[in-house]
Structure 1
Amino acid sequence: MRLPEPIPLTQIDVAQMTGLLDEETQRYQEWYRWDFRATAELVKQLVATRSLGGMALVDGGRVVGYSYFVIDDTKALIGDAYVCDVWASAASERLLLATTLEAVREFSQVRRLESQPMMLRYAYSHPKAVRHERMFLEVPLAEVRWPNGVQEPAGYRIENWAWRAEEDAAQLLYRAYRGHMDSEINDQYRAPGKSRSYLANLIRYPVCGDFCPAASFTVTEKENGQTVGMVLTTVSEQVGHIAQLCVESSARGRGLGRLLLWAALAKFSELGCEYSTLTVTAANEVAIRLYNSAGYVERSRVAAYVWPGWPF
């Protein structure tokens, strides 16, 4: 079987990417109901300036697949990998990922590699990668199992997202995910400084829509004002996405996660959304029970990969 030619993304003209990115935007909408347009435009800008690391699969001068990665200190993150409908095959995707790994090798400072490729169509594995199953969940808001009422637990206050809370939120991410299974997938949860970077990217460059302050909330302790829980959301057209929901360990078991989830869902409905989506690690049974109780069901699965011993 003939395969397309792999070429570094820095050697590609942006005009060669337009058709592929338009198709990927459509597939994101079909598969996840997410709005990929802003991310596609950012990819075009970075390709145009030849400042985005990654690989392109080329056939007859047309880009039929691509990947990109970013380097953050000693970590590399493969942010996307997509092959167009016509060229979609397990062999094409393996070629794209194999050449992307080789491109990352050129950065000698990298000691860890992460990826959660949402757009792969075929099963992928790598002998040196740790694979974590992730679930994509969805609920039509017309089918949400609304409770009779949700009250603030004694001693806590729920508030709308305020930009002044950003630093407190970054500190909360570090505390909430300390020792958590998701910190094995994303090492930005492991240090306050990295959590700040993760939070900034989540708010400013979401893949699944625009950050929605109106449907994002924090929970604080009334006694000392410390932030102990939060839900961060995005909205694109008729879809409200739960991008982040966490409660620090010392405050768990009090119904704060439930309180935050219902607050977000209620606001999604008020804003006219028709669906809500989220992703969750398949091994996180506590979180899955919470989401199932609201009516979320599994629609598909993706995988997150970590190469902790990079380079091998």
Structure 2
Amino acid sequence: MSALRSLELASSDMVDLRQVDSAALAPLLEEETQVWKDTLDWDFSRSAELVRRFIELRGLDGYALLREGAVAGYTYSIYEDHKALIGDLYIRARFRSARDENRLLEQALRSLAWVPRISRVESQLMMISAAAGELPFADRLSRFDRGFMMLELEAARLAPRRPRASIGIMPWREAHEPAAAELIAAAYVGHVDSLINDQYRSLPGARQFLSNIVQYPGCGQFFRPGSFTALNAASGRMCGISLASLVAARTGHITQLCVDPAERGAGLGYELLRLSLEALRRAGCRRVSLTVTSSNQEAVRLYEQTGFRTIRTFSACVWEI
């Protein structure tokens, strides 16, 4: 930690985000919203509106990069118990450079190192060019390649595939959350994604993860009709879930697909995914996206066989500070 604390980098062109008002940040957020739409077919406006509200309340920890008397870039972080999440980092196209992206990132990490309870920082930033190169504090960094995949529903291969006779699939209900959290905590033991997001490692963390999906717009607006659970009739235990959201008027997103390891290899994951995709199609969606860790080849194969294609790669980063 001493190396991260050794130097404060804030300079004349970088200020605390609390010194910035929402009007000054508005052009940046408008550009970022358009980039998300053009690049990922994702409506970023709800997330941008939340940022604006917290900026007005002076409630976001972060930094703004200034150029030509205007806000050229920004980053902010949020806290969850012992860790921090870098919620966003974006620099406007006309000012963007990997150097300045890294300066913002480095300043954020140095500041977080001074927060007593914070020992871990996670980020999954899809809109930074620096992700392909060297990032700050590489000696404390674990980095995982991820893919943003997209499916054109018209081209989707969605033939039904019955799971085992003992498996029943039903629509998602709020009452399923406790059992779904137990499934996630058990299914991700030893899984690469538990290295990226440590909420997968415990029951309380899995509960928080599900709460975030249902309540907050980071992964879109939760779409209950496109979400399903699978139960093993013999044991009475939940053995699979597929959760969906809407990220634009005609675009859906698969926020979670999880199957009990004991049930894998029999088509349950595919059938849960298929049901979610069909429900999104009936809701008027033309495209569906998801993200996947590149080393999770079993999942990548399933998605590719269904018709998903990778349209963007990005890094999931974890710093132990």
The normalised TM-score by structure 2 is 0.92
Cross-structure match for 1:287: 299
Q: Give the SS at the match of 1:165.
A: helix
Contact 1:130–1:306 at 8 Å: present in 2 too?
yes
Aligned counterpart for 2:183 among listed residues 172, 185, 192: 172
Cross-structure match for 2:198: 187
Distance in structure 2 (CA, Å) of the matches to 1:166 and 1:159: 14
1:193-272 counterparts in 2 under 5 A? 193-235=204-246, 236-272=248-284
Distance in structure 2 (CA, Å) of the matches to 1:206 and 1:4: 34
Aligned counterpart for 2:46 among listed residues 35, 38, 54: 38
Cross-structure match for 1:125: 134
Cross-structure match for 2:37: 29
Cα RMSD (Å) of the superposition? 1.5
Q: Give the SS at the match of 2:151.
A: strand
Cross-structure match for 1:137: 149
Cross-structure match for 1:111: 119
**Count of residue correspondences:** 306
Change (3 A) 1:130 1:288: same
Change (3 A) 1:97 1:153: same
Write the deviation string for residues 267-292 of structure 1: whole angstroms up to 9, x where unpaired: 11111111111110000000011001
Q: Give the SS at the match of 1:17.
A: helix
Write the deviation string for residues 53-109 of structure 1: whole angstroms up to 9, x where unpaired: 111112244211111111112111111111111111112211111111122122122
Aligned counterpart for 1:48 among listed residues 29, 50, 56: 56
Q: Which structure 2 residue ranges, 5 or more long, are not aligned? A: 1-10
Q: Give the SS at the match of 1:86.
A: helix
Contact 1:145–1:294 at 8 Å: present in 2 too?
yes
Q: Which moved more, 1:271-280 or 1:207-216?
A: 207-216
Distance in structure 2 (CA, Å) of the matches to 1:68 and 1:215: 32
Q: Which moved more, 1:195-204 or 1:179-188?
A: 195-204
In structure 1, what residue type is equivalent to 2:164? P
Cross-structure match for 2:27: 19
Cross-structure match for 1:150: 161
Cross-structure match for 1:89: 97
In structure 2, what residue type is equivalent to 1:167? P
* Alignment partner of 1:276 is 2:288: yes
- Stretches of 4+ moved more than 3 A in 1? none
Contact 2:213–2:219 at 8 Å: present in 1 too?
no
Contact 1:137–1:298 at 8 Å: present in 2 too?
yes
Q: Percent identity?
A: 38
Write the deviation string for residues 8-46 of structure 1: whole angstroms up to 9, x where unpaired: 112211111111111111111111111111111111111
Distance in structure 2 (CA, Å) of the matches to 1:45 and 1:226: 41
Higher helix residue share: 2
Contact 2:161–2:267 at 8 Å: present in 1 too?
no
Contact 2:163–2:266 at 8 Å: present in 1 too?
no
Cross-structure match for 2:86: 78
Distance in structure 2 (CA, Å) of the matches to 1:201 and 1:58: 32
Q: Give the SS at the match of 2:316.
A: strand
Contact 1:4–1:59 at 8 Å: present in 2 too?
no
The normalised TM-score by structure 1 is 0.94
In structure 2, what residue type is equivalent to 1:297? R
Q: Give the SS at the match of 2:210.
A: helix
Contact 2:141–2:317 at 8 Å: present in 1 too?
yes
Q: Which moved more, 1:172-181 or 1:201-210?
A: 201-210
Contact 1:221–1:227 at 8 Å: present in 2 too?
yes
Q: Which structure 1 residue ranges, 5 or more long, are not aligned? A: none
